[in-house]
Amino acid sequence: MAISLEEVYKIAHLCRLEFSEEEAKVLAEELSKILDYFKKLQTVNTENVEPTFHALKIKTPFREDKVKEFPYIEDILKNAPQLYERMIIVPKVVKTS
Amino acid sequence: MTDFKELTILETLRLLEEKKVSSKELVEETLKQIKKVDPQIKAYIYVDEEGAIKSAEEADRLIQKGEKKKLLGIPISIKDNICIKGLPTTCASKILQNFVAPYNATVIERLKAEGAVFIGKTNLDEFAMGSSTENSAFFPTRNPWDLEKVPGGSSGGSAAAVASRMGLGSLGSDTGGSIRQPAAFCGVVGMKPTYGFVSRFGLVAFASSLDQIGPFATTVEDTALLLQVIAGHDPKDSTSAPVEVPDFLESIKANEKTSFTIGLPKEYFESEIDPEMNKIILEIIEKLKKKHKIKELSLPHTEYAVATYYIIAPAEAFSNLARYDGVKYGFRAESSNLIEMYKKSRALGFGKEVKRRIMLGAYALSAGYYDAFYLKASKVRTLILHDFLEAFKEVDLILTPVTPTPPFKIGEKISDPLQMYLSDIFTIPVNLAGLPGISVPVGLTSDNLPVAVQVIGPHFRDELVLSLAYQIEKEVNKKFIPSILNE
């Protein structure tokens, strides 16, 4: 298999995902099959070929750094899972001894 | 009123202007149709009855005043990964189940400015990842031509809604074929414009270098009209192209008799295509030969497109979907610390295919594998793009099948992700190269399932793509109306 169970757990942590052992086993099998299929790319000669990250040649556009008022703040706050007045509550991020 | 199932947007605009029908009547008719057929088809995630009637009444007032707009009073649907302010935008994901869009996508602003009426939000594969709409976290959509078959995906809801006349048009998004493949499966017209032609602002990002919004309709002219309204430069999207938008309807009329040099890539026709489908497509090509120059050509890197795409798209998705962390919006799972909150929210909020792709993307980008997977795929992408650029030195347009097979059965491919990925083989290269492509229905199989062809054009020659599609539509000269509409 192209990818081990340990690698699945390692990648899952990088993705901030978690899987049960059973799910991880299925995933290792599925990903291995897909990664094996990807191996066909290794047969393509890409010597001296530049990578394409964007199909069309574009430049980063610049604009004036002007402050504009955003009118939908309340609508954004409405989507927050937990609010205290106009602040979003999150689990504690600092450890207390 | 004229037979509702034969109405096009252009005809409806005429009827509205002549006051033979009101927008409110049209919307009510559409809502009636949804109540009648959508319990079986399940194209809509959300129907905005109240909002649609209100917009229709407003449109009727403007029509009374003699105002002219490109889509005044026309009921359309929108794929549920495009933001309409005040309506849910779920991406068919549990993680966004309760998300209400705080602003309009640019395409929505443009449609609104031209008087379009939004009926509701259509179903999709979760975050547009899939080829059958079975990956929706809520329910699968069924093909109006055969309820046992998939409508294609990821914009399966939009294609099925247009095919069963639950709205006169729709917008979808296409990252690897997500407009063209469901259009082909449902017997409607669907177009992916050139990358950068239509603003992506307000489209929930999946793979940003590939995603493009595009229209669905029952005719090429209607598709051209919808594209006319949504295309054009938008400073809110940094990849939006600062190019002039031609008058598409004028172009396709002007090109009605133009003879094109049409390329047939042998790699597409030599691969395993359903024989009955192939026969229908070859018959169309025979007919086109009378007027156009047909030229066989080679796109030698075609066989690497699926592998290239399924490295690049998941890599971009891995990064784009990092924002769903349960902090500022979307689903948040109960937990005692931050890392656990991230992990649990994402594990419970995302579906199987989305997690699979995030994992694939992370793997392809991770230390030790970046060169072998992501960088390699990005180099092969150059070769695929180059194949097309070379081809367009010799031909005006390229014609191919859209899919290797007619619509497949619900459940047939869902347990084998690789098989599902391979069904996108003819649509993926167009996204990798950023080209415009359209799917036009050309016939029906003996099982009464739609067959379509794809027309591909050079960058920003969307008007040529539409022009040949228009000629093909004329040549085929057939209305594609699923039998569910006659019941």
Write the pLDDT tens digit of every residue in B240-260: 999 999 999 999 999 999 999
CA separation for the pair A24, A12 (Å, rounded) = 9
Question: Does the beta-carbon distance from B362 to A14 stay under 8 Å?
Answer: yes
CA dihedral B304, B155, B249, B109 (to 10 degrees): -120
Question: Could you tell me if B406 and B471 lie in one domain?
Answer: yes
Question: Could you tell me if B331 and B444 lie in one domain?
Answer: no
Domains: count for chain B? 2
CA separation for the pair B90, B100 (Å, rounded) = 8
Provide the residue count of chain B. Answer: 487
Is B275 domain-assigned? no
Query: What ipTM does this complex have?
Result: 0.95
Contact B148, B176 (CB under 8 A): no
Residues of B in contact with A38 (CB under 8 A): 307, 310-311, 373, 377
Looking at the complex, does the CB of residue B470 fall below 8 Å from at least one CB of chain A?
Answer: no
Question: Could you tell me if B349 and B469 lie in one domain?
Answer: no
Is residue A97 pLDDT above 80, yes or no? no
- Residue A48 gets the label, from left (phi > 0), alpha (psi -120 to 50) or beta, of left
Nearest to B390 by CA among B276, B310, B299, B296: B299
**Can you give the pLDDT at residue B205?**
98
Residues of B in contact with A80 (CB under 8 A): 328-329
Residue B482: which residues within 8 A CB-CB, separation 6 or more? B144, B145, B163, B164, B187
pLDDT tens figures, A34-66: 999 999 999 999 999 999 999 998 888 898 999
Question: Does the beta-carbon distance from A53 to B383 stay under 8 Å?
Answer: no
Question: Does the beta-carbon distance from A38 to B311 stay under 8 Å?
Answer: yes
Question: Does the beta-carbon distance from B331 to A81 stay under 8 Å?
Answer: yes
Is residue A96 pLDDT above 80, yes or no? no
Looking at the complex, does the CB of residue B335 fall below 8 Å from at least one CB of chain A?
Answer: yes
What CATH number did the domain enclosing B51 receive? 3.90.1300.10
A66: closest CA of chain B, how far (Å): 14
Is residue B357 pLDDT above 60, yes or no? yes
Is residue A93 pLDDT above 90, yes or no? no
Question: Does the beta-carbon distance from B377 to A54 stay under 8 Å?
Answer: no
**Can you give the pLDDT at residue A70?**
87
pLDDT category of residue B1 using cuts at 50, 70 and 90: low
Residues of A in contact with B341 (CB under 8 A): 90-91
B327: closest CA of chain A, how far (Å): 7
A78: closest CA of chain B, how far (Å): 8
Is B75 domain-assigned? yes
Please state the rounded mean pLDDT for residues A4-28. Answer: 96
CA–chain centroid gap for B443, Å, is 20
Phi, psi of A11 (to 5 degrees): -65, -40
Question: Could you tell me if B101 and B232 lie in one domain?
Answer: yes
Residue spans of beta strands (DSSP E) within B11-83: 44-47, 75-79
pLDDT category of residue B2 using cuts at 50, 70 and 90: low
**Can you give the pLDDT at residue B324?**
98
Residue in the block written with tokens 């040649």: A57
pLDDT tens figures, B270-281: 878 999 999 999
pLDDT tens figures, B16-57: 999 999 999 999 999 999 999 999 999 999 999 999 999 999
Cα B305 to Cα A79, B166, B271, B404, B465: the distances in Å are 39, 35, 13, 15, 22
Going along chain A from its start, the domains and CATH numbers come out as 5-43 (1.10.20)
pLDDT tens figures, B120-154: 999 999 999 999 999 999 999 999 999 999 999 99
Question: Could you tell me if B417 and B469 lie in one domain?
Answer: yes
Question: Could you tell me if B356 and B217 lie in one domain?
Answer: no
pLDDT tens figures, B85-126: 999 999 999 999 999 999 999 999 999 999 999 999 999 999
Which residue range is the domain that position B217 belongs to?
4-263+393-486
Compare CB distances from A91 to B335, B376, B379 and report the shortest one's residue: B335
Question: Does the beta-carbon distance from A61 to B238 stay under 8 Å?
Answer: yes
Question: A12: part of which helix (H) or strand (E)?
Answer: helix A5-14
B450: closest CA of chain A, how far (Å): 30
- Nearest residue of B to residue A63, measured between CA atoms: B235
Is B27 domain-assigned? yes
Nearest to B74 by CA among B93, B55, B88, B99: B55
Question: B215: part of which helix (H) or strand (E)?
Answer: strand B213-217
Is residue B179 pLDDT above 90, yes or no? yes
Question: Does the beta-carbon distance from B363 to A11 stay under 8 Å?
Answer: yes
Looking at the complex, does the CB of residue B350 fall below 8 Å from at least one CB of chain A?
Answer: yes
> How many CB pairs below 8 A link A and B?
167
CA separation for the pair B120, B87 (Å, rounded) = 9
Helix/strand/coil for B158: helix
Nearest to B130 by CA among B105, B162, B93: B93
Question: Could you tell me if B255 and B404 lie in one domain?
Answer: yes
Question: Could you tell me if B365 and B404 lie in one domain?
Answer: no
Compare CB distances from A52 to B328, B372, B381 and report the shortest one's residue: B381
Mark which of B344, B378, B412 sits at the end of a domain.
B378
Cα A64 to Cα A24, A67, A71: the distances in Å are 49, 9, 20
Is B132 domain-assigned? yes
Name the DSSP letter for residue B374: I
Tell me which residues of B are annotated as active site.
79, 154, 178
Mutate which: A1, A7, A9, A17, vs B, most B CBs within 10 A: A17
Question: Could you tell me if B205 and B63 lie in one domain?
Answer: yes
Nearest to B125 by CA among B87, B166, B177, B84: B177
Mean pLDDT of chain B: 97
Is B146 domain-assigned? yes
Looking at the complex, does the CB of residue B389 fall below 8 Å from at least one CB of chain A?
Answer: no
Question: Does the beta-carbon distance from A79 to B385 stay under 8 Å?
Answer: no
Question: Could you tell me if B54 and B130 lie in one domain?
Answer: yes
B463: closest CA of chain A, how far (Å): 18
CA separation for the pair B419, B152 (Å, rounded) = 14
Contact B202, B83 (CB under 8 A): yes
Question: Could you tell me if B363 and B407 lie in one domain?
Answer: no
Question: Could you tell me if B24 and B109 lie in one domain?
Answer: yes
Cα B462 to Cα B183, B238, B248: the distances in Å are 17, 21, 8
**Can you give the pLDDT at residue A94?**
80
Is B40 domain-assigned? yes
Question: Does the beta-carbon distance from B379 to A92 stay under 8 Å?
Answer: no
**Can you give the pLDDT at residue A1?**
64
